[in-house]
Chains A and B, each alone.
Chain A
Amino acid sequence: MFIKQISVFVENKSGRLADVTRNLGDNGIDLIAISISDTTDFGIFRLIVDLPEKAEEVLLKNGFTVSSTDVIAVSVKDEPGSLARALTVLADEMIDIEYMYAVGKNTKGAVVILKVNDIEKAVKVLEEKGIDVLPAEKVYSL
């Protein structure tokens, strides 16, 4: 159910993002979603890919500082208020969202990646309320 997200520590210097994505591309790894957050001197580059284990291995081998984190993917209808409904479910259950970002692929609805403080509970309550939580295989094949 959980999706393996790859996080890469990148210094703020030109070419680092290109380096990461080139290494993945050269190894036939497909990007499904990306996000970057930064401070003045470093950033965290977060990626969802089709082959997370391989991606982590490739990046480690090439000297990047990488970790993997479990996240969830929620599919919501592409209409006003649908994301809010999903997030309200989490808020009502006092589950905190650490960060989130959207999948960059064309999908029927919209797919949002969420990192929450209690992932098991999050999946449970979302499903109970009829929110579509995507299984990992489905996300990797987007």
Chain B
Amino acid sequence: MIWNEEIECINRKELEEIQLKHLKNAVERAYNNVPFYRERFDKIGLRPEHIKTLKDIEKIPFTTKDDLRDNYPYKMFACPLKKIVRLHASSGTTGKPIVAGYTRKDLDIWSECVARIIVAAGGREDDLAQIVFGYGMFTGGFGLHYGLEKVGITVIPSSSGNSERQLMLMQDFGATIVVGTPSYVMYLSEIAEELGIPKKNFKLRLGLFGGEGHTESMGKELEERWGILATSNYGLTEVIGPGVSGECIYQDGMHFCEDHFYPEIIDPETGETKGYGEEGELVITTLTKEGTPMLRYRTKDITVLNPEPCKCGRTSLRMGKVLGRTDDMIIVKGVNVFPSQIESVLLETEHIGPHYQIVVRREGYMDSLEVMVELANRELVDNFRALESLEENIRHKLRTVLQIDAKVRLVEPKTLERFTGKAKRVIDLRKQE
């Protein structure tokens, strides 16, 4: 089934006409309403009317996460707050989040895009979907929620946490779709196993996974454990949230909602545009977003775009799995973590040295984060309470900034590795799976 056949199976020429029309509007709106964009354009003598073809998008300067941070909280908004009906936020590099504002129309478009992805993955009106994403400022919960309702699917908004209760609801309500991060859904299956709940008690048949990437082997494992089709979808708060692209039942790349989001692949070093099939950084321009329009937003995600028509009949570009990041961001339990966030906490903490090491592990199927720091003040050595409260203090501050729990480990001075060039602060042991 295809949710919006007219657009999803459109011929590419027609799509490009729609994209160009939208792009011109988007540029005009951004230029006229967001001083940030106007300054960027004026600085290089670019005017909205210079955008005459889709190719002309390459004249527009990139927008980066730093730009969004510098304009926190409202300076990227292209309309007055009274037109904004929702705010979401994602973690930034310094503890200040990235803010996205949605007008009524933005929310409608968001639901439309998510609906396409749900139906592409095989979701139907008679399904019951349990959302085990956290609700709140994170776009995952609400994004999927409204898309599912738009399709007519019964939503069970159980949110994350309280795993035993999740499993009870899942059985009693007869959920057929599970929506969440792959690691949490994997964890749920382990809990179900521990509790001795037989597989036949569950009616799940489909998983809609996002918020973090997952390897093919983890997808297979999820499919086996739950007896589901495990599909991936992609999105980011900066451009809207989930709904940017998602896999169809053939699981061969994520179909891009190109009438609303214009994708490009660039060389992250030079900024030059790369062709289809070439690996590079994904750059997205929002074509219709009113609240917080993004022109050439650098996602920092490395992927490829595939223009071949899909077996499913959709003509949209398909985005490959995210192969990596251009920065050192790590995703732990579905939460973006930047080493710089951890560094800022450590630098303002007394009694420890400036060096640190971050170790990410997957214990079972749950991520864990450990931060190792060197004890610098030997005055504390004889004082157990001081050492433990130092660890506790760092843990608490990390929790405030990162929103997740980290294990803090004090180590002896000068034992952590020193780097002369670019520091490799993160040891991600999950990659060895």
Which residues of A pack against B, CB within 8 Å?
A: 5, 7-11, 37, 39, 41-42, 44, 46, 63-67, 69, 115
Contact = CB atoms under 8 A, between A and B. Distances in A.
A98 B379 CA distance: 16
B388 A46 contact: no
A46 B384 CA distance: 12
Q: Is the interface of A mostly helix, strand, loop or mixed?
A: strand
A9 B388 contact: no
B375 interface: yes
Contacts of A41: 409-410
Nearest to B385: A98
Contact of A8 (B381, B388, B411): B381
B382 A10 contact: no
B382 A11 contact: no
Nearest to B413: A65
Interface string B373-394: 0010011111010011000000
The B contact surface, by secondary structure, is: mixed
15 contacts: A9-B378, A9-B381, A9-B387, A9-B412, A11-B415, A39-B388, A41-B409, A41-B410, A42-B410, A42-B411, A46-B382, A65-B413, A67-B379, A67-B380, A115-B382
A7 B412 contact: no
B379 A10 contact: no
Given A9-B375, A11-B415, A39-B388, A69 B382 contact: yes
Interface of B: 375, 378-382, 384, 387-388, 409-415
A41 B408 CA distance: 9
B82 to A, nearest CB: 53
Nearest to A71: B382
Contacts of B414: 63
A130 B320 CA distance: 82
Q: Which 3 pairs of residues, A with B, have the shortest CB-CB distance? A: A7-B382, A67-B381, A69-B382
A115 B382 CA distance: 10
A65 B382 contact: no
A11 B391 CA distance: 14
B375 A65 contact: yes
A21 to B, nearest CB: 16
A64 B414 CA distance: 9
A42 B413 contact: no
A11 B412 contact: yes
Contact of A63 (B409, B411, B413): B413
A98 to B, nearest CB: 9
A39 B382 CA distance: 14
Contacts of B388: 39
Contacts of A65: 375, 378, 381, 412-413
A115 B384 CA distance: 13
Given A9-B375, A9-B412, A67-B382, 11 more contacts: A7-B381, A8-B381, A11-B412, A37-B384, A42-B411, A44-B381, A44-B387, A65-B375, A65-B378, A66-B381, A67-B381
B412 A10 contact: yes
A42 B387 contact: yes
Contacts of B409: 41-42
Contacts of A9: 375, 378, 381, 387, 410, 412
Kindly name the residue among B382, B413, B414 whose own CB sees the greatest number of chain A CB atoms within 10 A. B382
